[in-house]
Structure 1
Amino acid sequence: MKAYVSVLKLRLLNGMQYRAAALAGVATQFFWGFMYIMIFEAFYLNTIESPPIALKELIIYIWLQQAFLAFIALWFRDNELFDLITTGNIAYELCRPCGIYGFWYAKLLAQRLSSAFLRSFPILLVAFFLPQPYNMTLPPNVLTFVLFLTSLIFGLLLLVSISMFIYISVFVTMSPVGSLLLFGVIGEFFAGLIIPIPLMPSWLQNIAYLLPFRLTADFPFRVYSGHIHQNEAIAGIISQFGWLVILVLLGKFAFHKALQKVVVQGG
């Protein structure tokens, strides 16, 4: 466990050094945030009479998406790990006196945390001071905020466990781009990053609720806005924990099977 905590700290400190890249990302995310808000505002004003989610809740949803993009984007990757797999340098990782799954999990977790620390606070700070109706607002009460933080943390852990399957799949496909596209398109769609899940047709919502992706993004953001009530939020957090245990166990099993078939050339 000490090895995993140490690599988490080191990667977190290393990631915090890229401040210029983070500021560029903040500007980009403000652009996308305003664009999405204006699209949905026009959609609400001209189309929807009784929306399944209020426009204000949707605006909060979008700003949280932009602020915590590093927590929810499956395309967020570590090219160093891809290179280890595709070049055969995974042999060096096998020499480490610790489990590779946990070691990589800690690296990916630290990468996302460092990026979110640098980007989330400027975005949220500005979003709170924007004019109506484009501004962020506080959650309805303290308990809702606590449930949001809990669900956000579990959502991050769940997303990292899902992203581990991207790296595991590269052992088979040897194509990082293919694995990223497959997981990214499916995962982000059913996480509500393209179309918020309440705005999907009922049959698509049923599919989304069967998969774990929505628990990484859609669920915590709707908890914050109050669209998901407290009792439902507690049940959702329990579901997040259950999915986390299942995906980590499956990931470790799949990783073990993939390592058994690794071929390292050169002797």
Structure 2
Amino acid sequence: MRGYLALFRVRFTTSLQYRAAALGGIATQFAWGFMEILAFLAFYQVNSAAFPMEFSQVVTYIWMQQAFLALFMVWFYENEILTAIQTGAIAYELTRPLDLYNLWFCSSVANRLAKALLRSMPILVVAFLVPPPLRMSLPPNGTHLVLFLISTILALGVVVAFNMLVYISTFYTLSPLGGRIIAAMLADFLAGSILPLPFFPAGFRVVAELLPFAAMQNMPLRIYSGHMNATAAVQGIWLQLFWLVTLVGLGKISMKYALQKVVVQGG
């Protein structure tokens, strides 16, 4: 455990150095957030009663999504891991007295947390200061805030565990491009990144809410915005826990079999 904590600290500290990249990302996320909110506003002004979420909930959902994009975006991959697999540099990592799955998982979590720390505060400050109806709201009560924090931790774990499967698949495909594109497209759509899941057709939404993608950003953002009551939030958290355990277990088994057959080419 001490080795993983040391790795986490080093990776977290290193990722905090990229402040210029964070500033560029913040500007992009502000523009995207305002664009999304204004697009929804145009529809809500026509008939707000036709939508499954209140407009204030949608606004809060979008701002929280942008603030914590680094935690929830599936399409943010660790290029160092993919490069190590493709070039054979993974041989050096296999010499470490640490479990490779845990090593990569820990590194990914640290990197995402550091990036989220750099980007979230400026976005949240502005989101609370802009005039209504574009202003972000606080959660309904303290219970929702606690449930949101628990759900966010689990969502981060599910996202990283899902990405681990993409990394492991590279042992077999050698090129990660196809798997990355397919995984990102599925996750963006089914996790509520493009459109919150409540806006999906009823039959399709029921199925989508049972998939692992619904255990990503969908759950914490809907809890914080107040769209889910406490009972539904607790049920959602249990679903997140199920998918986290399932994906981690599947990843560890897949990693075990992949490493048994891995061959490093070259001298």
TM-score by length of 1: 0.97
> What displacement does 1:39 show?
0.9
Deviations 1:155-199 (A, max 9, x none): 111111111011011111112221110110001211000111011
> What displacement does 1:45 show?
2.1
Deviations 1:24-56 (A, max 9, x none): 100000000001111111122235533111111
Q: How many angstroms apart in 2 are the aligned matches of 1:29 and 1:20?
A: 14
Q: How many angstroms apart in 1 are the aligned matches of 2:33 and 2:148?
A: 20
Give 5+ residue unaligned stretches, structure 1: none
Letter in 1 for 2:100: I
Q: Does 1:13 align with 2:43?
A: no
Q: How many angstroms apart in 1 are the aligned matches of 2:145 and 2:47?
A: 32
Letter in 2 for 1:158: V
Q: Does 1:122 align with 2:139?
A: no
Runs of 4+ off more than 4 Å: none
Q: Percent identity?
A: 48
Q: How many angstroms apart in 1 are the aligned matches of 2:180 and 2:252?
A: 20
Q: How many angstroms apart in 2 are the aligned matches of 1:207 and 1:238?
A: 17
Letter in 2 for 1:177: L
Q: How many angstroms apart in 1 are the aligned matches of 2:39 and 2:207?
A: 25
Q: How many angstroms apart in 2 are the aligned matches of 1:174 and 1:83?
A: 10
SS at match of 2:204: helix
Q: 1:236 maps to what in 2?
A: 236
Does the CA-based 8 Å contact 2:48-2:55 persist in structure 1?
Answer: no
Letter in 2 for 1:45: Q
Q: 1:198 maps to what in 2?
A: 198
Q: How many residues align?
A: 267
Letter in 2 for 1:182: I
Q: 1:140 maps to what in 2?
A: 140
Give 5+ residue unaligned stretches, structure 2: none
SS at match of 1:53: coil
Does the CA-based 8 Å contact 1:171-1:262 persist in structure 2?
Answer: yes
Q: 1:105 maps to what in 2?
A: 105
Please give the residue correspondences for 1:22-33 in structure 2 after superposition, counting only pairs within 5 Å: 22-33=22-33
SS at match of 2:146: helix
TM-score by length of 2: 0.97
SS at match of 2:17: coil
